[in-house]
Amino acid sequence: MIPLFKVEMAADAADRVTAVLDSGMLGHGPLVGEFERELGARLGNPHVAALNNGTSGLQLALRLAGAADRPGGEVLSTPFTFEATNWSILAGGQRITWVDIDPATLNMDLDDLAKKITPLTRAIMVVHWGGSPVDVDRLTRVLDDAEAAHGHRPVVVEDCAQAWGARVHGRPLGNHGNLCVFSFHATKHLSCGTGGLLVLRGEQDLLRARRLRFFGIERDADRVHADYDVPEWGYNFYMNEISAAIGLSSLTAVDDRIARHRGNAAFYDAELAGVPGLELTARSEGLESSFWLYPVKVDDRAGFMRKMAEAGVEVSMVSRRNDAHGCAPPGRALPGLEAVHDRVVHIPVGWWLSEEDRAHIARTIRSGW
C-alpha cells in the first residue's frame, strides 16, 4: 500500500537524541533555544516560542490575541480543517462563528469573512489547508476595511500546522503581522516527533508567551527560596530537549522534503488535468504551497476511494467538517463548503513516492472509477 503519510527521521536524529539522554537534561534547555534561533532565522522573524505541540500554540495564540478577555468572545473560523483548530477555540471558552470556504482553494472565503466581522469579533482563525496559503496580504486589506467600519481590528491567528515552507508573495508565513502556529508532528515536513512553534508579533508578545508556556513563571525566577510572583497564570506548554534535538536534525532535510512534495504536485497537476469527474484545486500566482497534502475534488467519492484502495493506494478525507460534530455549533449558509465537502479526497504526494508510485497513482485515476 502506498501510504498517505509517512514518518522520516534524518540520519543523525538518533545520535542527537542519545546525546540529550546522556546529558541528563530532558526538559527545557539549551537545544530548545538553539532550535528557536534556527527557526527564527529561517522565517525571518526572531520572535518565536517553541512549544510541546501545535494545538498548545493555537490556545496560547488565542490567549495572546485577547480572545479570552471577554467570556464567550466571538472567533471567526473555518469548519474545513482538522479538529485541533477549532477545539482550541472551544478550550478557551470562546464562541465560534463559521466562515464559508472558497470551493476552488478549500481555504477561507475572504469575501464571506469580510461580511461576518463585527465589533464583537475578538479574533480570526485562518487555516492554510494542506500547505496552500491564504492570501494574507489580501486578508490585511479586509482587516483595514473592518477597522475603518467598526473601530476595532480583530487579531488574526494563522493555523500553519501543514504549511512549513509555504510562501505568500515571496515571504514565508510568519512575516505578515499575525500570530502564526506551526505543528512539528511526526508526519509533518519539519518534525520533532511532537512539537510546535508560536510566531509572535514582537518582543512584548514573545516575553509574555515564554512566561505563559511555563505556568506563567519566569524561568530564571528564584524558585529555590520560593521568592517569586506569578502575575498571570500559564500552561505546561514548553518544548523538551528531545523534541528540539529531533527538530534540529529534521531541519537538515526539510527543504529537500518540501521540494519533493512540490515536484510530485507538479506532476499531478499535469497528469490529472482534465480527468473526467475530477477537479484540481486552484493555483494562484504568488501563493506558493508546501503541498503537505494534495486534495482533489471527485464525483462519486466512495467509488474513487474504493478504486484507489484496490490499486494499493491510501487516500483519505483527512478530517470531517467541524460544524457537523456534536460539540460544535452547527454551520449555516455555507454554500461553498456544501458544494465540495462530499467531493474532497487527498492522494499521496509525499517525499517517499518513487516515480513509479506517482505514475501508478495517476494512471489509476485516469482509468476511471
We report the CATH number of the domain holding residue 273 as: 3.90.1150.10
| Region class of 24: left (phi > 0), else alpha (psi between -120 and 50), else beta | left
- Chain segment 39-55, per-residue pLDDT in tens: 999 999 999 999 999 99
Distance CA 157, CA 64 (A): 10
Strand 74-77 vs strand 155-159: parallel, antiparallel, or unpaired?
unpaired
3 state SS of 164: coil
Distance CA 183, CA 24 (A): 26
- Chain segment 231-262, per-residue pLDDT in tens: 999 999 999 999 999 999 999 999 999 999 99
Based on the domain organization, do 199 and 269 belong to the same domain?
no
Q: Quick check: is 317 in a domain?
A: yes
Give the angle 130-322-264 at the CA atoms, nearest 5°: 15
Q: In this predicted structure, what is the pLDDT of residue 356?
A: 98
Based on the domain organization, do 240 and 296 belong to the same domain?
no
Based on the domain organization, do 344 and 272 belong to the same domain?
yes
Q: Quick check: is 118 in a domain?
A: yes
Residues near 216 by beta carbon (within 8 Å), at least 6 away in sequence:
230, 231, 232, 233, 234
Residue 314 near residue 3, CB atoms below 8 Å: yes
Based on the domain organization, do 223 and 76 belong to the same domain?
yes
In this predicted structure, the answer to whether residue 222 has a pLDDT above a threshold of 90 is no
Task: For the chain, state the CA radius of gyration.
Answer: 21
Quote the domain boundaries for residue 284: 254-366
Q: Quick check: is 1 in a domain?
A: no
Q: Quick check: is 329 in a domain?
A: yes
Q: Calculate mean pLDDT across residues 299-325.
A: 97
Residues near 242 by beta carbon (within 8 Å), at least 6 away in sequence:
17, 20, 21, 26, 193
Q: In this predicted structure, what is the pLDDT of residue 52?
A: 98
Q: In this predicted structure, what is the pLDDT of residue 51?
A: 98
Q: In this predicted structure, what is the pLDDT of residue 224?
A: 63
C-alpha cell at 227: 521568592
Percentage above 90 pLDDT, the chain: 91
Count Cβ atoms within 10 A of the Cβ of residue 325 and give its class: 0-12 exposed, 13-18 middle, 19 or more buried.
middle
Choose one of 214, 236, 251: the last residue of a domain: 251
pTM of the model: 0.96
Packing angle of the helix pair 83-91, 54-64 (nearest 10 deg): 40
Q: Quick check: is 279 in a domain?
A: yes
Q: Quick check: is 114 in a domain?
A: yes
3 state SS of 47: coil
Based on the domain organization, do 220 and 332 belong to the same domain?
no
Q: In this predicted structure, what is the pLDDT of residue 276?
A: 98
Choose one of 228, 251, 274: the last residue of a domain: 251
Q: Calculate mean pLDDT across residues 265-288.
A: 97
Question: H/E element holding 294?
Answer: strand 294-298
* CA-based nearest residue to 20, from 248, 251, 252, 253: 248
Based on the domain organization, do 238 and 270 belong to the same domain?
no
Question: H/E element holding 144?
Answer: helix 136-150
Question: H/E element holding 344?
Answer: strand 344-347
Strand 179-183 vs strand 155-159: parallel, antiparallel, or unpaired?
parallel
Q: In this predicted structure, what is the pLDDT of residue 331?
A: 87
Count Cβ atoms within 10 A of the Cβ of residue 342 and give its class: 0-12 exposed, 13-18 middle, 19 or more buried.
middle
Based on the domain organization, do 165 and 208 belong to the same domain?
yes
Choose one of 217, 251, 285: the last residue of a domain: 251
Based on the domain organization, do 111 and 137 belong to the same domain?
yes
Based on the domain organization, do 106 and 210 belong to the same domain?
yes
Tally of structural domains, the chain: 2
Q: Quick check: is 3 in a domain?
A: no
Based on the domain organization, do 274 and 156 belong to the same domain?
no
Q: In this predicted structure, what is the pLDDT of residue 221?
A: 66
What are residue 241's phi and psi, to 5 degrees? -70, -35
In this predicted structure, the answer to whether residue 71 has a pLDDT above a threshold of 90 is no
Based on the domain organization, do 75 and 208 belong to the same domain?
yes
Q: Quick check: is 4 in a domain?
A: no
In this predicted structure, the answer to whether residue 296 has a pLDDT above a threshold of 90 is yes
Based on the domain organization, do 267 and 162 belong to the same domain?
no
Amino acid at 337: L
We report the CATH number of the domain holding residue 230 as: 3.40.640.10
